[in-house]
Chains A and B, each alone.
Chain A
């Protein structure tokens, strides 16, 4: 029997792409679909997905919960849970368009909701931690239900298929966002499960990732000490949780979190100034299990911007470009030039050197 993500760990290769307008101007999903479509051969039709920020301005203060349900029973169970924990403003099917190559969709639903005050008080948690625990709970305890995304004014759209078909299926041309991220997947042995497609998200974090990290189990067993449950067994899942832990819960400055994940080599650290050296040594000591090893290029998205990061010896491709207020990041330069033929600047970041593209006026992620 073929096993799905969560039952088994499935390595995959990938294409990634991300576009941000740093002034926060909204633009349609046409460009991101075009960009990821150019890298068609980097995926194999077994997974594609998108994340978009700024798409729900009318509900921007509510959590937009995107769900997959395998059957009506799962939906009923989760809705009971959601009703107990949230005030739901709107519950609706996510609109899709029939595309020949996209088949057997699950029930695709979204809710705009806010946590119930009494439940928050009872739990003694802040809103985001409450939300995280609810997401973990649904993903681990509710058979046949999967939280696709759970942030505010953002959403993830993913499916089994080539990414350009997935974009068409979800009618992304009808959405307008200031950040778009895309992923095309080349899994090696999966029967293809919608939940296993990327991006992986939590709160308003979303991660698209290309690579197979060799530190996976070290990262997973560390992050699970902090209450996260890696139900999918994918790299993207564990990377997302690590960003959530380091930045949201441990309140580390962005560059410290990125250093932990793609740390400078010890012999580089030895050449640093004493203050810097002590900081780097401390990061590597305390967050040794957060070091991501093996090949990866990732784009991390959140409401404030996007960040791209490569493994420290650059085992996966990653190119960045700017044009006016736009920043583009993609696995291949061609995927940028197809939507932006004459960028102001194009560069290939070094291994471990992050590309940080935040909205104007925003200091930190």
Chain B
């Protein structure tokens, strides 16, 4: 093997006066950055292995550590940036596809930050959520166009719905892509708060079946862990067609991660690669999707809403119209900033469209066709905070999925190395020594705190707008104004410019 041309991305700085040689950093780093030189009683760091996950920094009892970006510069070049050059070095050395984790980090515009919310002044009162009721409860599922009522009773029962106390759910994250402890934390938090978490394509671990009321079970192209008990175990079923981080791409859980528990949960042999094909091989068109939707409904006696999750791609509005007509009760759209445990870098950074546009286009299209009531819309892919949630709902979403935000809440530092399986925070790993670093109860508490905090903030924003029930915000685009957007972008988002 020839000399690697790659220089370290980060530099580990240790304040030697503070360092007490406790070796916490040595023990904590799964990437083996730190080593203890016994002879000199010194701790040295191999910068080239550092992924900047902050595990050592946070755990260092004397705050002796800092990680910096390596100040080493290439000759300035607007085209050949450091990352462009480094990526070529990597591929020239390995001959492989570049892999990455989490969502698209390129400096594309974040449209959430180009939309501003309204508030009441004089002509109508703002509502104080500390004094007045403020409702966030949301029901997802197909709604009939008309309710038939006779003698004070409904003539036809509603199709099955899922109830959310807050219009936020945890995105699909499989047991395999994340650890059992992380799955358990999500399940516990969802159950405590009254929302849903999603199994992803990882099957449902037997110990998590008790959280079924707050579980969306996913059926993806690999069908891992799917049997009738699985379908019946959750509150809803989601067919995963695509994922925002890697539209058009399947998944691959390497065999070395498929240990006993994952093997059992995914129903595959220990050590075998779990490969999810890019398409579902029984869905080559919309009519095939309809068959799968109805197969799942038949299998569960029409008791569970069926969701279809797709990545936001160019023709998303027409696709969603087809999905609604194919019988889906919920459509989840995952934007190009959606997270992942592993994706080819080029796909993640170049395929798909922003969720803000996708959501607006889909909501508009479904309304133009008069079928918006037939489905609930869930949007995902880079929702960072409660204001993003509020803006998404004003654009037309019923609820949102959060994945990356949830993982950050339980310790993720966005180092984007999920695919290595060496997550020092015990999240994206199956290494038992790393997994046990994540205490499910503590992690669940952090998630619950996050959701409660967002709920409070959402209530404040709603109250400011003079709204006391979240449904009155849904698709209420007059509550949004664009800033720094072209008139074409404003048209697609269906909003006015600030000042209009």
Contacts and interface: CB of A to CB of B under 8 A. Distances in A.
Q: Do A and B come from one complex?
A: yes
A217 B478 contact: yes
Interface stretch (A5-13, A44-52, A171-179): A5-13
Contacts of B147: 250, 252, 256, 282-283, 286-287
B370 interface: yes
Interface stretch (B14-22, B129-137, B404-412): B129-137
Nearest to B393: A218
A212 B123 contact: yes
> Chain B at the A interface: mostly helix, strand, loop or mixed?
loop
Interface stretch (A31-39, A121-129, A291-299): A291-299
B492 interface: no
B133 to A, nearest CB: 5
A256 B149 CA distance: 8
A265 B120 CA distance: 22
Contact of A289 (B133, B158, B475): B475
B376 to A, nearest CB: 10
A72 interface: no
A287 to B, nearest CB: 7
A217 B473 CA distance: 8
B477 A286 contact: no
A313 interface: yes
Contacts, number: 126
Contacts of A275: 152-153
Interface string B476-490: 111100000000000
Interface stretch (B40-48, B172-180, B329-337, B461-469): B461-469
A286 B476 contact: no
B124 A11 contact: yes
A59 interface: no
B132 A313 contact: yes
B68 interface: no
Contacts of A295: 124-125, 466
Interface stretch (A61-69, A110-118, A154-162, A222-230): A222-230
Contacts of A286: 143-147, 158, 373
B139 interface: yes
Contacts of A221: 367, 475-477
Contact of B124 (A217, A252, A276, A294): A294
A231 interface: no
A278 interface: yes
Contact of A265 (B123, B133, B153, B158): B133
Given A250-B146, A253-B149, A286-B147, A293 B467 contact: yes
A50 B33 CA distance: 81
B149 A215 contact: no
A315 interface: yes
B469 A291 contact: yes
B144 A217 contact: no
Interface in A239-294: 250, 252-253, 256, 263, 265-267, 275-276, 278-279, 281-289, 291-294
A167 interface: no
A252 B135 contact: no
A83 interface: no
A200 interface: no
Contacts of A342: none
A188 B123 CA distance: 8
Contacts of B388: none
A214 B370 contact: no
B474 interface: yes
Contacts of B475: 217-218, 221-222, 289
B325 to A, nearest CB: 15
Contacts of B137: 266
Interface in B134-182: 135, 137, 139, 141, 143-147, 149, 152-154, 157-158, 161
A211 interface: yes
Contacts of A213: 124
Nearest to A8: B500
Nearest to B368: A225
Contacts of A267: 133
B127 interface: yes
A253 B153 CA distance: 11
A288 B476 CA distance: 12
B471 interface: yes
Nearest to A276: B152
Contacts of A288: 139, 143, 471, 474
A215 B476 contact: yes
A217 B125 contact: no
A223 to B, nearest CB: 11
Contact of A294 (B144, B149, B153, B467): B467
Nearest to A213: B124
Nearest to B479: A217
Nearest to B158: A282
B62 interface: no
B200 to A, nearest CB: 28
B136 to A, nearest CB: 9
A312 B372 CA distance: 26
B467 A313 contact: no
Interface string A312-327: 1101000000000000
A313 B468 contact: yes
A194 interface: no
Contact of A285 (B124, B132, B143): B143
Contacts of B125: 295, 315
Contacts of B474: 218, 288-289
B472 interface: yes
A116 B144 CA distance: 34
Contacts of B146: 250, 286
Interface of A: 9, 11-13, 188, 211-218, 221-222, 224-226, 250, 252-253, 256, 263, 265-267, 275-276, 278-279, 281-289, 291-295, 312-313, 315
Given A263-B469, A284-B139, A315-B127, 12 more contacts: A217-B479, A218-B475, A221-B367, A226-B370, A278-B157, A285-B141, A285-B161, A288-B474, A289-B475, A294-B467, A294-B472, A313-B132
9 contacts: A225-B367, A279-B152, A283-B147, A286-B145, A286-B146, A286-B147, A289-B474, A293-B469, A294-B467
Closest 10 CB pairs of A and B: A293-B472, A215-B472, A214-B466, A288-B471, A217-B478, A11-B123, A218-B476, A212-B124, A294-B466, A217-B476
